[in-house]
Structure 1
Amino acid sequence: MEFYIPTETGEFLAFCAAVATGLIGLFALFAPGTALRLAGLQVQEASREGLAFVRSAGGFYAGLAIVALMMAQSWIYMAIGGGFALAAFGRILSLLSDGSFTLKNLLVLAVQAVLAALPLGYAFGFI
């Protein structure tokens, strides 16, 4: 199997979203404590289940991104975009109902929206 870097603009943007997803996943996989602190959370000293959850979630992100990069198929990009679209929807719900309307949450929402729009736009033929 040969590694493929797309030359078409739409596919390249979806590829970049997959790379960003992989980097986020690898960061959470190998630095879960820092990832939790960036999210404004902390793990209790008596319980390490939180770190295990963040590592496994990071592994899921990284695994999905690696498959997308290796296979370069629209339906895999669609999975990444759909996941980030629902994550952005959850963040919008939190902004509206949990009183978490902060600049940090708005910035993360913008990142999630972009990471959803790029692969979905390519998969559905908009870009």
Structure 2
Amino acid sequence: MHPIMLGNAKFIKHSSIIPQCAIAIGKLFLDLRAPIVLYTNLLVSVRRASELVFDIRLKCISLTGCEVAGASTKTKADKYFKKNILKLGGSDIFIVFYDVDTNKASKWAVVSRINNNGECCIAIKRFIVVENIDDEFF
């Protein structure tokens, strides 16, 4: 079961290049009339977010990012015996099923892979295409 479903509050520091996404996700929680304390966006600097690892009120640290940020976060979290969850290096998947418009899907696949030179946290890294349309897709 997801920690939010159990009532655990989330403090999220999104990448500074996607504040609009962070705000949109926060708005979804408000639209669902979730308790205001359940989900909070931290629109703060990386340095300030890094200092939050030391806050005794936070019981778990989760990071999606690069290996360098992960190593730094893990070192700090381990020092204070905090649980930590790291998703590093990216491995987003683009799945193509048999009923898809392959022309449209292949165009979006290219855009999804090369967005921001592939340095975007949601850039597609792997493609899974059902066998009977793989020639058509690629």
Same fold (TM over 0.5): no
Q: Quick check: which one's helix share is greater?
A: 1
Which fold has the larger relative contact order, with Cα–Cα distance below 8 Å and residues 6 or more apart in sequence?
A: 1
Q: Quick check: which one's strand share is greater?
A: 2
Output the TM-score relative to the length of structure 2.
0.28
Output the TM-score relative to the length of structure 1.
0.30
